[in-house]
Amino acid sequence: MIVVFLGPPGAGKGTQALRVSEKYGLPMVSTGDMLREAVAAGSALGAKVKSIMESGDLVDDETMAAVVEDRLGQPDCSDGVVLDGYPRTAPQAQTLDPLLARIDMGSVGLVIMLDVPEGEVVRRISGRRSCPGCGSNFHLTFQPPTTEGVCDQCGGDLIQRADDKEDVVRERLSVYRRMTEPLVDYYRQRGVLAEIEGSGTVEEIFSRVDAVMAEAMSS
């Protein structure tokens, strides 16, 4: 099953995608994490995307298609994946199904849209801390790590992402409204969209996510 998470930055896509990935044994493919790893590694891809990411803009569709096709073609993805952060534009959505067909992975089976009001998104992101090592996310108020500054999952040092600063967050929200929100209708029309109320605790949201996952897996 190919599961896609949609929603504004700060909606909790990464956290919920990781939970789904763990419970259902599907690898999580986060394009944001992959690009951040490329930047940290100083690769050619990293050099190309660094300043785009820091400004809150989107990397071009062609580069993203190559990154995603390369990752989805790896053997661990053959039974499906949880996609976090892809697709993010109409052209990306339109190329995803042919791309999946090319590598014998079927098509997108479920799109989980996390609905969160904008004010709450800004509040959430400003307190967000991330682990560059394993991709886990924490929040200073809502989900603090057991030891301040240290990842509960892998013991790595937690950081605040450069693009989690408030002015960049506002730009990312505007890009989201313009470029990504239209995908909600695109997937609704294809009959694979599940809209989930994204406010509440991580557990409350996960129980809603899990209900639509269980239903999609059984049908």
Q: Look up residue 190 and give its amino acid.
A: R
In the structure encoding, which two tokens stand for residue 23, read together?
Answer: 């419970």
Pairing of strands 128-130, 137-139: antiparallel
Tell me if 8 contacts ligand AMP by CB under 6 A. Answer: no
Tell me if 137 contacts ligand AMP by CB under 6 A. Answer: no
Name the minimum Å distance from CB 206 to ligand AMP.
Answer: 19
Residue of 29, 25, 37 lying closest to 13 (CA atoms): 29
Helices (H), 176-201: 182-189
Instruction: Please give the distance of CA 6 from its chain centroid, rounded to a whole number.
Output: 7
Whichever of 161 and 188 has its CB closer to ligand AMP, that residue is: 161
Tell me if 31 contacts ligand AMP by CB under 6 A. Answer: yes
Q: Hey, which bits of the chain come out as E strands?
A: 2-6, 28-30, 81-84, 108-115, 128-130, 137-139, 193-197
Question: Of 71, 124, 129, 172, which residue is the catalytic one?
Answer: 172
Tell me if 58 contacts ligand AMP by CB under 6 A. Answer: yes
Q: Is 161 a catalytic residue?
A: yes
Question: Of 19, 71, 88, 129, which residue is the catalytic one?
Answer: 88
Whichever of 56 and 80 has its CB closer to ligand AMP, that residue is: 56
Tell me if 172 contacts ligand AMP by CB under 6 A. Answer: yes
Tell me if 56 contacts ligand AMP by CB under 6 A. Answer: yes
Tell me if 86 contacts ligand AMP by CB under 6 A. Answer: yes
Q: For the chain, give me the number of helices (H) and strands (E)?
A: 9, 7
Site residues, ligand AMP (CB under 6 A): 9, 31-32, 35, 52-53, 56-59, 64, 85-86, 88, 92, 163, 172
